[in-house]
Amino acid sequence: MIMGLIPLISLYSQVVYEPVTNNSVYDLLDELAALKVISINSVAKPYSRIYITGKLNEAKNILADTAVRGVSTRVREAVEFYMRDYATELLITNNEIRSVNTNSVLHNQIVGYDPVGYKYLGKALNLEIRPALGGRFLVNENGNVWEATGGGEVFGYLGKHIGYYVNVKQTWESEPLVKPRYFTMEEGKMWNDLKNGSVSNTEWQAGLSVAWNWGDIGVYKDRPVWGNAQHGANILSGHAPSFPFIQLHLKPAKWFEFRYIAGVLQSIYLDSIYQGGKITASNRVRKYFIGNIITVIPWKNLQISIGNSVIYSEKVINPAFFIPFFFYKSVDQSQSNLSVDNGQNNQFFFDIHYRAFRYFSLYCSVFIDDLKMEAFWKEGQHNEISSKIGFQLSGWPLKNLTLAGEYTRTNPLTYQHYVTSIDYYSAGYCLGSYLRDNSEELFFRLDFRPSPRVTLSCEYQFIRHGQDFLNIRYLDNYILPVLDDISSRVTAAGINLDYLLYNRFMLTGGFLFKNSRGDVKYNPLIFHGNTYSVFVGFQIGF
């Protein structure tokens, strides 16, 4: 019966997105792809639960063949362990199982602990309710920080074509660990200031989609991620708070995949209305994101992705940007009469991921804001480019070990724009690299997984950030110095231990050394100077 699920899963492509913060299952899929057990297109995240289910089930059937070499027992056990989280998706894609006990409501209601939650399985409606609760504590020479989170999620499927999900997360921190100016991988939040410097945030994410055999379309409020990366993508990183968007996703052939997004960003700039020489109203400037990305797979181990986007701000929505397959820079140029002042903010990007041989993969992701060909060979000039190159080595020379590393470099003004209302930001957070413009990062991580539930990680990070260029309207962006006047240097090394009691029930702890030099505004108060931090935490739910 299990073998029969693989073709059925491809027919049921309903979309309920798995948060990228569920790192453990995403890491497992990357490892399975590196071991050549499965193939995945990792340029765009999050993945849907149906997609993850199909890949885990595919891996389970392949690994059932004991002749598969280079795969540890731990990997086989991990596939079985994580599939418990996707039991509903396995059931709804098999009509034989789905029809059992559908006349008895009691037999279709399940309260479980792996993961914690309630599910209802019916003929037309499948529903899951899961609570979320978490907390962490960090202490070092500068003091301590507490964080508490709570909330929950509801998701499921209607019939064969509709998927839905909604989740809410309330966060309280004794000191904010993330702000738009901080160099941190924490998810961006818009804080409410409380007493004694503490802050709180409530964020809702949701989605409703309709799917068919080779595609889906839906409306979402989420954090899309574009670009392969181990430590923050540089195209769409998911670092900014979630924003609402419409997405069209097509996969009409195994070698071709297409995504289009039309979203509404949150501007921090006011658009004032004057009457009689006085301000009568002040509203946020309207700001929109339009983007597409195409992936072609010329052969099994090579994925090439190309895309473009535009940030625009107009009082009237431009219908030309709703054409999914456009090259938006040409549209903008034709409508602005080639005037920079009247135009919008356009970007071009590409990503290449090559799984050269078993165990090893190499990727490169490039984001270009304004391409000038002569800057490639003219001395003293450079383009507005963010480039990232990285690798991952899994299961060799020792099983259960994964080594990953990457280098990221972003030139000045890559994400900025002299018309500040159309910069590559939302709610003050950069949509691309969390380090923003004029910066570079070297990052390494070594993971040891002795069992499906345990991950021991060692990380090293080195950051340099140059000066921030303000009042950029009259600057020649092609000759600005790159990393010339360093305003911030950060060196960090740490060790982290994660233990999964059950699916979605994690205990974590670790140690972090961090040396932050230069301007203190780029780091939370708790990490100013030379710090040795110890932290512990737990998380139930997403």
Lowest mean pLDDT among 167-181, 315-329, 398-412: 315-329
- In whole angstroms, what is the distance from residue 229 CA to residue 364 CA? 9
- In whole angstroms, what is the distance from residue 483 CA to residue 61 CA? 50
- In whole angstroms, what is the distance from residue 405 CA to residue 411 CA? 21
- 342 has a pLDDT exceeding 80: no
pLDDT for residue 463 = 97
Q: Classify each residue of 39-64 as buried b or exposed e, where b means 16 or more C-beta atoms within 10 Å of its C-beta.
A: bbbbbbbbbbbbbbbbbbbbbbeebe
Residue range 86-107: average pLDDT?
A: 55
Secondary structure E strands in 383-528: 384-394, 401-410, 425-426, 429-430, 439-451, 454-465, 488-502, 505-518
What are the extents of the domains in the chain?
1-100
pLDDT for residue 333 = 66
Rounded to a whole number of angstroms, the distance between the first and last alpha carbons of the chain is 30
Q: Model-level pTM?
A: 0.90
pLDDT for residue 493 = 97
- In whole angstroms, what is the distance from residue 181 CA to residue 171 CA? 19
Q: What is the DSSP string of 76-128?
A: HHHHHHHHGGGHHHHHHT-HHHHTTTTT-TGGGEEEEETTEEEEEE-SSEEEE
Other C-beta atoms closer than 10 Å to the C-beta of 397 total: 7
- In whole angstroms, what is the distance from residue 325 CA to residue 349 CA? 15
Contact 426, 241 (CB under 8 A): yes
Residue 334 host element (H or E)? helix 328-336
pLDDT for residue 75 = 92
Structure tokens at 345: 């903010």
**Secondary structure of residue 521 in the 3-state scheme:** helix
The average confidence (pLDDT) of the chain is: 87
- In whole angstroms, what is the distance from residue 490 CA to residue 10 CA? 46
Residue range 404-409: average pLDDT?
A: 97
Residue 163's Cβ-count burial label (10 Å; 0-12, 13-18, 19+) is buried
pLDDT for residue 102 = 39
421-443: per-residue pLDDT in tens?
A: 889 999 999 999 999 999 999 99
Closest CA to 53 of 117, 10, 95, 24: 10
Q: Where are the alpha helices (DSSP H) in 142-269?
A: none
Closest CA to 212 of 43, 3, 15: 15
360-395: per-residue pLDDT in tens?
A: 999 999 999 877 777 677 777 778 899 999 999 998
At position 507, the amino acid (one-letter code) is: L
Closest CA to 144 of 201, 198, 200: 198
